[in-house]
Structure 1
């Protein structure tokens, strides 16, 4: 019955979780509000705030889980991908903590952990399944054959869908983080009010750089005719942008499901919290006969619970790393 302490510090959330024999008993997330002043994450500031947050977050997680550090059996941590300075704080703390208590270290891939978040609670997908993993930095369709046997069958060739949401929000002068605000405005708007071109990318890959440019020109041209265009039509703009991004994502996912003869379908990553994406996916559940798996909101954005469940399964397989392990800004499956 292993008890795993997990640390996530890939971007701007300092998160610590405890997993007791496959059950998450604590999941602490310390957010960094300082980046709101700059309209995006400042890497140097993020790493400094991680240093301030990590010890209190660990203490709080152990207290919530009612676990003494001497009861721990292993320490899991995000090795990458992510911001190098942020990762360095988490990796260094995990190594020191494990060394002091003579505990094994468990390295976790951040993107794999997003997918494995589906194994925290019921219902859990059956292998093999397809997972659309969408975040600010990644957009991937992954064929999941086993816990750590995953194949990326489609991915973005340039920008991620989450970045398209964030850049659109910036164009609309919405405060950071803008993705959730687009979702909020979209609920009050007409998703068919405006149309945007869908990128014609071969196979199962994505591209959002041209889509972002199309939105920029669309706003610019309408503002020439009406300087108050954004203020007067903010809800319809957000609804239309969200509708188009969701369609782009799900059209490729439908193609992948058909190609791989798979009806076990999941989503993961920060953008999986988007209500438009969640609703559209559930609508396909009945029409296509899919078994759909959508994580709880708390497991969509960056969190240590997903690192903990991944670390738990790695512990069972005896997959440990040594003290020479280093953070990796880019990290393949």
Structure 2
């Protein structure tokens, strides 16, 4: 187990809620404590090395790793925050989407703490957590903004109002592979290690992004995405020329993904008259994506908000941040009948299906 603590700690406030967040949707066990938009403590344990030999996440391994890692992560986060259970005001947990067995592990832990400590419980949508992560770095979101979520399982353009109270409007989603999924698949094609995002990015740093003119799917066709064809184009090119320079392929592929993501995101802001773009999710840690987005947003007069890389990947503080917003908005907590929803649609920040 690898446990690392978040560096941006702050002193607790007086009247706002202190929320403990639990994230176990995939292969990372995250526990975070947030108070009024400020991080008090955080711990993260990753089982990525255990999955690497299989080239992807194995649900049973992930669930077992969550069981082993949760208590140490909870202890670390509480010690960092220098608080006791009685000082926690609410508990927030990812209840969807994600791997079913992984979600159930986190839910069981959250329910146990809520019952033992007599605290309200909030079921949080994982993707809303990614959006809320940016508020921990840059403060509250404006009244209206557009979010580009790019991760291993999701690629979406969203129209946002108040994250805690307003519906989330989908402007466009991926029709097939998500951007992060495409990175993983292309990494395998190129013989690069899992996870694909960081390994492709490292290889691309040594390559020429203009070496190969890979396709840009669905440009000029609304705000939806498709990356399956791009992945197939890389596969055909590698099959036709096994001697291709891997860094050039990686750089050209990465450029195609980044080009589509940033063009559509900026176009969505312009079309809807919105001046703030928030890019979140694991792929938001990609340096080239951040660089191109910054240039295009500056040229269009759009404010760009991207959380630091440590807050882009799955973590507990992003879930605590949503719980913090829900508690502040007076949203009613969930019951102990809260259940996992592995394929939960993103319509609101709260994700509170109940078991029969």
Q: TM-score range by the shorter chain?
A: over 0.9
Structure 1 residue 124: deviation in Å?
4.7
Q: Structure 1: 5+ residue runs without aligned partners?
A: 224-228
Residue in 1 that maps onto 2:287:
275
Specify which of 260, 263, 276 is matched with residue 275 of structure 2.
263
Which runs of structure 2 are paired with 1:126-137 in the superposition (5 Å)?
126-137=142-153
In 2, the alpha carbon distance for the partners of 1:80 and 1:118 equals 20
Preserved CA contact (<8 Å) 2:30 2:73: yes
Secondary structure at 1:242 match in 2: helix
Specify which of 169, 173, 176 is matched with residue 191 of structure 2.
173
Aligned length: 326
Residue in 2 that maps onto 1:222:
241
Preserved CA contact (<8 Å) 2:94 2:126: yes
Preserved CA contact (<8 Å) 1:124 1:293: no
Which runs of structure 2 are paired with 1:156-167 in the superposition (5 Å)?
156-167=174-185
Specify which of 137, 157, 161 is matched with residue 121 of structure 1.
137
In 2, the alpha carbon distance for the partners of 1:15 and 1:2 equals 19
Structure 1 residue 290: deviation in Å?
1.0
Which runs of structure 2 are paired with 1:201-212 in the superposition (5 Å)?
202-212=221-231
TM superposition score normalised by structure 1: 0.95
Residue in 2 that maps onto 1:226:
none
Structure 1 residue 123: deviation in Å?
5.3
Which runs of structure 2 are paired with 1:178-189 in the superposition (5 Å)?
178-189=196-207
Structure 1 residue 17: deviation in Å?
0.4
Specify which of 335, 338, 342 is matched with residue 329 of structure 1.
342
Residue in 1 that maps onto 2:12:
none
Which runs of structure 2 are paired with 1:188-199 in the superposition (5 Å)?
188-199=206-217
In 2, the alpha carbon distance for the partners of 1:318 and 1:289 equals 35
Preserved CA contact (<8 Å) 1:10 1:81: yes
Bigger mean CA offset, 144-153 vs 196-205: 196-205
TM superposition score normalised by structure 2: 0.89
Secondary structure at 1:79 match in 2: strand
Structure 1 residue 20: deviation in Å?
2.2
In 2, the alpha carbon distance for the partners of 1:235 and 1:73 equals 50
Q: Structure 2: 5+ residue runs without aligned partners?
A: 1-15, 348-356
Residue in 2 that maps onto 1:213:
232
Residue in 1 that maps onto 2:104:
88
In 2, the alpha carbon distance for the partners of 1:261 and 1:123 equals 22
Bigger mean CA offset, 257-266 vs 81-90: 257-266
Residue in 1 that maps onto 2:353:
none
Deviations 1:226-274 (A, max 9, x none): xxx14xx121111111000101111211221221011211100000000
Structure 1 residue 295: deviation in Å?
0.5
In 1, the alpha carbon distance for the partners of 2:111 and 2:298 equals 47
Deviations 1:1-46 (A, max 9, x none): 2111110000000000011233111121101120111111001110
